[in-house]
Structure 1
Amino acid sequence: MIAREPIFPAKRQHLYQKFGYSAAIRSGDLLFVSGQVGSLEEGTPEPEFEAQVRLAFDNLKATLIAAGCTLDDLIDVTTFHTDPENQFPTIMAVKQEMFPQAPYPSWTAVGVNWLAGFDFEIKVIARIPEKAQ
């Protein structure tokens, strides 16, 4: 059996326990991060779209930090969008800030019609640096 270690960001474990899943799972030198949304501390959506995208990245970074990773350790990114055509300019502007230079992670964007009240979600796979293993 492969060892799996759950990872939780500081001050948000209660949300994951409430809904019955882990923020991320460490398996060997890989980190599989569950979809991160722009949720406020109590779990509700940030209402303003750009702020929601930024908060989703903040929540992602908090999960990565809990595992000893940063955005530089990302290998694969999947994002989910409820209105891709209209949201993409905002998302691309935030993405450029988060990843200002190559090498960029692989990235897949998927249009969906439901994200439980959210409009953006980001799911990643990262390689955990040796110093954090």
Structure 2
Amino acid sequence: MTTRDVVFPPGRHALYERNRYSPAVRSDGLLFVSGQVGSRDDGSPEPDLRKQVALAFENLNAVLKAADCTFDDVVDVTVFIVDPAEKFETIWEVVPTYWGEAPFPNITCVGVTWLYGFDFEIKVIARVPEADIAR
């Protein structure tokens, strides 16, 4: 069996171990990042929606940074939103702060009924910079 090339951001290792998943896996020049939510250090949801979205992006950026990537390396985005008809506009007020400039990555938005107490989750696939492909 091949060993997965797992990437962990600093300071949250125990949270991922407790929930039994890897924050990201590097494979063939790509980084597959698990869904990131606006969780505080203890794993609890940030109750304010705007702050929760910002924290989800900060958690995502920490995973990307641990793999020597940035959001500019992201090519594919999937977001999950509880009650998107009600929350989409508020969420999209925060997104441009983290999204960068065009050309933008592609995106799929999915409306869901439950996210373990969260209202927003983002998962991405990023291109690993050329220097890291040899790992």
User: Aligning the two structures, in what range does the TM-score lie when normalised by the shorter sequence?
Assistant: over 0.9
One-letter amino acid of the structure 2 residue matched with residue 69 of structure 1: C
Cα pair distance change 1:100/1:63, threshold 3 Å: closer
One-letter amino acid of the structure 2 residue matched with residue 125 of structure 1: I
Following superposition, the deviation at residue 100 of structure 1 comes to 3.8
Q: Which residue of 2 aligns with 1:78?
A: 78
Q: Which runs of 4+ in 1 moved over 4 A?
A: none
Checking the alignment, whether the CA contact within 8 Å between 2:6 and 2:22 is kept in structure 1 is yes
TM-score, normalization by structure 1: 0.95
Q: Which residue of 2 aligns with 1:68?
A: 68
C-alpha distance in 2 between matches for 1:38 and 1:115: 11
Do structure 1's residue 14 and structure 2's residue 14 form an aligned pair? yes
Checking the alignment, whether the CA contact within 8 Å between 1:3 and 1:27 is kept in structure 2 is no
> Which structure 1 segments of 5+ residues have no match?
none
C-alpha distance in 1 between matches for 2:62 and 2:72: 14
Q: Which residue of 2 aligns with 1:102?
A: 102
One-letter amino acid of the structure 2 residue matched with residue 94 of structure 1: V
C-alpha distance in 1 between matches for 2:4 and 2:125: 14
TM-score, normalization by structure 2: 0.94
Following superposition, the deviation at residue 3 of structure 1 comes to 5.7
C-alpha distance in 1 between matches for 2:71 and 2:2: 25
Q: Which residue of 2 aligns with 1:59?
A: 59
> Which structure 2 segments of 5+ residues have no match?
none
C-alpha distance in 2 between matches for 1:94 and 1:34: 20
Following superposition, the deviation at residue 108 of structure 1 comes to 0.5
Cα pair distance change 1:100/1:127, threshold 3 Å: closer
Cα pair distance change 1:86/1:96, threshold 3 Å: same
Q: Which residue of 1 aligns with 2:36?
A: 36
Per-residue CA deviations over 1:48-107 (Å, capped at 9, x if unaligned) read: 111000000000000000001000000000000001012111221222221242110000
One-letter amino acid of the structure 2 residue matched with residue 23 of structure 1: P
C-alpha distance in 1 between matches for 2:31 and 2:69: 9
Following superposition, the deviation at residue 18 of structure 1 comes to 0.4
C-alpha distance in 2 between matches for 1:103 and 1:91: 20
One-letter amino acid of the structure 2 residue matched with residue 118 of structure 1: F
